[in-house]
Structure 1
Amino acid sequence: MNIHAGLLAAHLGGRWLGVLIEGDSGSGKSDLALRALDHGFRLVADDRVDLWVCDGTLYGRAPTALAGLIEVRGVGICREPALPFCRIALAVRCAQHERMPEPAFNNYVGLSIPALSLPALECSAPAKMLRALQHLGAWTEGAYQDAHVAGAAPRPGGDSR
């Protein structure tokens, strides 16, 4: 399956974990990708991503013609060191988000992965993507929400109820 998205990866826990970046034209996908590359992410695919499933895990890569290339608006098509493929662990939609969103998931090729909405042009968006990848285990089990509701986790802003 081929989708219109970008794919970046971060090296966490000894493996590369990918983030699909989706959004409407002009939503900031390319800008977010460039800033994430400057924050240690690696390019896998820009603009188009080939998806497949192997042993119950979702993977992605660039179509052959686009491998190692990224479009930089105002500059042109640029070469960028890229990974040949990676496991996909998170989907990011370039859009406004809620302050404390409920866990969300997107389905690709019959598999469900955690999903997050981010305003792509916020300075903190690459850092938020990395934090989301680092905390996926808590998200998939609802651990943060369960602890927050039970009063065990401090509330945003510092008070502990």
Structure 2
Amino acid sequence: MTPPGAPVYVHANALVLGECGLLLRGASGAGKSALTLQLIADWRARGDFASLVGDDRIALEARGGRLIARPHPAIRGLIEARGLGLLRLPYEPACVIGAVVDLGAGKGETRRLPDAAERTTDLCGVKLPRLFEHGANAGAAARIAAFIHEVAIN
């Protein structure tokens, strides 16, 4: 049992895209690391800020109604790139999570119009907008970018 106020570790990636902290959740092999690298590259290529916070294990903690994400101390600044191994990247020590993407493993059909209840998730008592995506599907990074933009204007 986790003591009150202690961070909760989740199997996820955290990154910052522009002003939005994003949590990518999914099982091993769902495409979290590849999608993280793609999103960071895409945002930087168009001149926007993008940075890794953490890969694989993320500490989450609710503070003042916001969800704070931090990398696991043993692997901060590292991200696994399948076929390449561990890469060292510049990283942010923490971010405020503004949205969550839940990744399914492999290819599959994403629901066209998810139910209202599926569009949000509660983490550590903080309600956040959520998107379901399949990391291996073509266009995943573009749909996530559109989701981030929608979250930012709402």
Task: Verify same fold: TM over 0.5.
Answer: yes
Inter-partner Cα distance in structure 1 for 2:95 and 2:138: 25
Tell which deviates more after alignment, 97-106 or 113-122: 97-106
Shift of 1:124: 1.7
Paired residues in the alignment total: 135
Q: Find the partner of 1:72 among 57, 67, 81.
A: 81
- Whether contact under 8 Å (2:20, 2:152) holds in the other structure is no
Return the index of the structure with the highest Cα Rg.
1
- Whether contact under 8 Å (2:11, 2:27) holds in the other structure is no
- Whether contact under 8 Å (2:52, 2:89) holds in the other structure is yes
Q: Find the partner of 2:41 among 17, 38, 41.
A: 38
Higher relative contact order (CA 8 A, sep 6+): 2
Q: Deviations over 1:121-140 (max 9, x none)?
A: 2232122212211111666x
Q: Percent identity?
A: 32
SS of equivalent to 2:115 = coil
- Whether contact under 8 Å (2:17, 2:40) holds in the other structure is no
**1:9-158 to 2 correspondences below 5 Å:** 9-11=16-18, 16-40=19-43, 41-95=50-104, 96-103=109-116, 104-136=119-151
TM norm structure 1: 0.77
Please list every run of 5 or more consecutive structure 2 residues that lacks an aligned counterpart in the other structure: 1-7, 44-49
**Superposition misfits of 4+ residues, deviation over 4 angstroms:** none
Inter-partner Cα distance in structure 2 for 1:126 and 1:58: 23
Inter-partner Cα distance in structure 2 for 1:38 and 1:123: 16
TM norm structure 2: 0.80
Please list every run of 5 or more consecutive structure 1 residues that lacks an aligned counterpart in the other structure: 140-161
- Whether contact under 8 Å (2:103, 2:132) holds in the other structure is yes
